[in-house]
Amino acid sequence: MTNRKAIFISFVLGLLAVLLLIVYMRQFEREMSGGERVQLVVALKPIKRGTLISDELLSTRDVPMAYVEERAIKANERAKIVGVRTSASIPAQAIVTWTDLAIANEERDLSSLVQPGRRAMTVRASNADDKKSNALIRPGDYVDVLATMTPPNVESASEATKSVVLLQRVLVLAIGVDTEPQAVAAAANSGKQHSSQRDMALTLSLTLGESQLLSLASEQGRLAVALRNPEDQRIAEGIPDMAVGQIFDTTAREQIQADRRITRVPEPVNEGPVKLESVVRR
């Protein structure tokens, strides 16, 4: 009787161990594959630019959270885009994003655009030389954030000033009070002074740690953003801080140009970085 009881207990413990192992393996597999699945709206067939979206043109797809595009439209928002005209062509089976749609009058709450785990942080953009260059950035664009600053407790501020790449491939959620690129573009094309042009505030999608970093940097020096191609998902690693002395160093300048030729980076189409000043709410 004692042996049967021991065998039964061993069997139960063994079965429990197997179940726990299965649960662990499934959780491990889910984490390695990108986490929980999110249902996103996709184009069932190719949709041409200017097409009025109908429900028959749409479908859904499960995508791991780690690979969810921040501009993507979730399945529970599908009804909101039916009857809306597209502003760009969408290939079959491609994920539909808010920037694919010609929504100029509909206002969306900024909080609804912020993905779980992210934060929306606003910084003010200004360009003393050419304010028109501010209008080149649109909601839905991606930018790199740069900082020019002098580390504290240094004797020679001019020699210690450095340019630092703070963040790469940061999504712009809003320009001024507009969350739609069409609203900014329409005002620019009409020549009217739009609120976004009077107050070029960029609202960026950041993690909490990135928000802290940007907040500290804004207190230490000047910030700028460089517009990048939305299809370019590369994150450069090991970028050294650039000291002000490199401007006058021929060898350093030639090396930078050599790096450009090696990486074959396309020529930028924007008119240069846009200076930023952090928005302080009082």
| pLDDT of 230 | 75
Q: What digits encode the pLDDT tens for the residues 42-79?
A: 999 999 888 888 888 999 988 887 777 778 888 888 87
Concatenating the DSSP letter of every residue in 142-205 gives: EEEEEEEE--SS-S-HHHH-EEEEEEEEEEEEEETTB--HHHHHHHHHHT---HHHHS-EEEEE
Rounded Cα distance between 271 and 138, Å, is: 14
**Are 94 and 177 contained in the same domain?**
no
**Are 45 and 12 contained in the same domain?**
no
| pLDDT of 80 | 77
Q: Report which secondary-structure segment, H or E, holds 32.
A: helix 2-32
Least confident span in 34-38, 66-70, 107-111, 226-230: 107-111
**Are 232 and 125 contained in the same domain?**
yes
Q: With 80 as the cut, is the pLDDT of residue 23 above it? A: no
Q: Report which secondary-structure segment, H or E, holds 275.
A: strand 274-278
**Are 22 and 52 contained in the same domain?**
no
**Are 181 and 43 contained in the same domain?**
no
State how far the alpha carbon of 111 is from the alpha carbons of 118, 166, 170, 211, 213, in Å: 10, 24, 17, 16, 21
Q: What digits encode the pLDDT tens for the residues 231-280?
A: 787 888 888 888 888 888 888 888 888 776 655 545 544 445 555 555 54
Residue 236 lies in a domain: yes
| pLDDT of 114 | 77
Total domains in the fold of the chain: 3
Q: Which residues, at least 6 apart from 193, have a Cβ–Cβ distance to it below 8 Å?
A: 187
Rounded Cα distance between 213 and 16, Å, is: 46
Q: With 70 as the cut, is the pLDDT of residue 1 above it? A: no
**Are 10 and 44 contained in the same domain?**
no
Q: Kindly state the percentage of the chain with pLDDT values over 70.
A: 71
Q: What digits encode the pLDDT tens for the residues 208-221?
A: 999 999 999 888 88
Rounded Cα distance between 189 and 196, Å, is: 13
Contact by Cβ (8 Å): 86, 102 = yes
Please choose, from the candidates 144, 129, 153, 151, the residue with its C-alpha nearest in 3D space to the C-alpha of residue 243.
151
Q: In CATH, what number is assigned to the domain containing residue 56?
A: 3.90.1210.10
**Are 266 and 133 contained in the same domain?**
yes
Q: 71 is in which domain, residue-wise?
A: 33-102
